[in-house]
Amino acid sequence: MINLKNILNKGELDREDIITLLSSESSEDLGLLKSKAYEILKEYCGIKVWLRGLIEFSNICVNDCYYCGIRKSNKSLNRYLLSKEEIINTALWCAEKGFGSIVLQSGERNDKNFVDFVSSVVSEIKKMTISDKLPEGLGITLCIGEQDYNSYKKLFEAGAHRYLLRIETSNEKLFREIHPPEQSFQRRVECLKMLKDIGFQTGTGVMIGLPNQTIEDLADDILFFKSIDIDMIGMGPYIIHKDTPMANSESLMKNENYKEHNYLLSLKMIATARIFLKDVNIASTTALQAIKPFGREAGLSFGANVIMPLITPEIYRKEYQLYEGKPCIEDLAEDCYDCSVQRIKSIDREVGFDEWGDSMHFISKNSKAD
Ligand code: SAH
């Protein structure tokens, strides 16, 4: 029998070890995984949890991903784009509340107007949030999909310093199954390379529990994160959205407990990624909370160190549903803020107020380069 303790005490894990960790089932093994992840987190990153106010500023999207509720073919939602003023006001509120950073997320658009719009919003926010507390303004992470090199560069020069672009799965065949032919795995990898080249702190991630995805695929996802030397990870359970082609997936329909399954697998992915990659930032994503009310706290306990309270103005929240059961749709930004802070404290972790909370991986990489 393989002893989990022996694996956890090894210096360097290999693919087989990762597969074993991801296959842990007994509560004893899950407990071991969780405490090892916490130990590594404490040693490499500290126990502070970084807040990123999440502003979903538009659900207009040119892509048609088979899993996503805001895909362009879904006609059952109202499309919106927040005005520059609305975004800036929301960001100012975040800065005032002590969020060191925000995430600006939207559906994908690649037209010049859009890129110009986002760049000018970013530079305004940067200018307007400089204060004693935040001498360089709010930290800004963008999550607006695949763009060309010049657009990425423009956005970086405007002042955004982190970028999230999920690879969704590192298995190319599976990637093709969940995207239309216009979208390519290679292109995503190229985008990630461009982002790193330009100097962004770069994040990626995957959906966990996709139809036809295996434990081996997930182990390869973690190896992929390492191979492209990623700074941040945002990953979470795949959850069906009824207005998508994947809602009829036979393999998941047969499994009524698929949400529970994907939830637990996501916690194991977070812990294993923490143990293997050590000093990257890992977000405990909202999708965890869509399955269990305290899902995000569980993600933090399994080694995540970033949380993204929803700050999107209330009237737009219901139009930005990537999957079913999105929590906090009826709440106010204030509620999400209070709730996140309380919940972080309830699990004996500290909130990193007024700090960017950059990835230690990125920081040490760059200090070595100096
Ligand atoms: N357009 C941006 C933002 C996309 S939404 C971009 O391309 O990066 C952010 C993430 O939500 C996606 O990368 C995907 O991983 C996740 N997502 C979309 N649909 C989902 C679903 N049904 N279940 C779980 N996660 C989903």
Sorted by where each begins, the domain ranges of the chain are 27-369
- Our mutation pick for probing the ligand 1 site, out of 142, 164, 207, 243, counting the most ligand atoms within 8 A of Cβ, is 207
| Mean pLDDT for back-to-back runs of 10 residues, the chain (370 residues) | 87 95 96 97 97 97 98 97 98 96 98 98 98 96 98 98 98 98 98 98 98 97 98 97 88 76 97 98 96 94 96 94 91 87 90 96 84
CB 306 within 8 A of CB 50: yes
Q: How far apart are CA 192 and CA 43, in angstroms?
A: 28
CA-nearest residue for atom 19, ligand 1, is 68
Can you give the pLDDT at residue 254? 61
Can you give the pLDDT at residue 264? 98
CATH architecture of 27-369: Alpha-Beta Barrel (3.20)
Tell me the β-bridge partners of 104.
55, 142
Q: How far apart are CA 61 and CA 80, in angstroms?
A: 10
CB 98 within 8 A of CB 48: no
Can you give the pLDDT at residue 1? 58
Can you give the pLDDT at residue 282? 98
Q: Tell me, what amino acid is at 77?
A: L
Can you give the pLDDT at residue 248? 81
Tokens of 9: 């005490």
Residue 165 is inside which H or E element, if any? none
CA-nearest residue for atom 1, ligand 1, is 107
Contact residues of ligand 1, CB 6 A cut-off = 67-68, 105, 107-108, 143-145, 165-166, 168, 207, 236, 238-239, 241, 287, 322-323
Cα 282 to the center of its chain, rounded Å = 8
Between helix 149-158 and helix 185-198 the angle, nearest 10°, is 40
